[in-house]
Amino acid sequence: MTERYNGWSNYETWCCHLWLSNEQATWDHWTERAADQLEQDSDSEVLNVTEAAQRRLGAELKESIADDIEAVLPAASMLTDLLTSAVQNIDYDEVAAAMVAAAVELTS
């Protein structure tokens, strides 16, 4: 089991949330996306609307970060491999949960 970092599941997750929440425009974008996800129905019999929104937003975050890496770094390099390894440690559902919670707070 990995050690928690500043209240987050690990350093990579904390760092991801820090960067996404550090600039107002970026934070606004992702909390808007969270609000959009909350407006969708849960397509699961197991997950409630909030949990489903967190899962969908987590998948969207993961895809967005992967696209950013692909756009900036060469297809094959040591730096790409190291960065990809670090990004795989991010708990996207945990980051998404914080964003969904913020979206709920903003709309209430």
Distance between CA atoms of 35 and 67, rounded to whole angstroms?
A: 22
Structural domain span for residue 24? 11-107
**Number of domains, the chain:** 1
* Alpha helices per DSSP H over 2-107: 11-22, 24-39, 49-72, 78-87, 92-107
Arithmetic mean of pLDDT, 1-20: 91
In a domain? residue 3: no
Residue among 88, 89, 106, 90 at smallest CA distance from 30: 106
In a domain? residue 92: yes
In a domain? residue 29: yes
Question: What's the predicted TM-score (pTM) here?
Answer: 0.87
> Is 70 exceeded by the pLDDT of residue 42?
no
**pLDDT tens-digit readout, 45-96:** 667 888 999 999 999 999 999 999 889 887 788 988 899 999 999 999 999 9
| Half-sphere exposure of residue 83: CA atoms within 13 angstroms, side-chain side | 16
> Is 70 exceeded by the pLDDT of residue 99?
yes
Q: What pLDDT is stored for residue 7 in this prediction?
A: 95
In a domain? residue 6: no
